[in-house]
Amino acid sequence: MILEAAYLSVRPEATEDFERDFALAAPIISSMDGYRWHQLQRCHEVPNRYLLLVGWDSIESHTVGFRGSPDYARWRDLLHHHYDPFPTVEHFVRVHP
């Protein structure tokens, strides 16, 4: 399994809109082949910073399957305009139970 971690900086005035739009976007990502689970966390200290964690079967499920899908355009349209700067996304592999 691959863990995607996306560090999202949302424009401070857009947090409510972002959370609303993320609820609309969540079914898009959860319908993708290779998707396992996701969770969105808001930072306690910096309320416009979020952490998105997504479990994927493989890195290709995310980078090719999801990002290469026609549905990704809808995801992008719903969410990307909320970010400043654009998110950092990294992929992790478990090394210890």
pLDDT digits (tens, 9 = 90+) for 37-61: 999 999 999 999 999 999 999 999 9
pLDDT < 50: residue spans in the chain: none
What pLDDT is recorded for position 97? 87
Strand, coil or helix: 63:
helix
Element (H, E) at 49: strand 49-56
| pTM score of the predicted model | 0.95
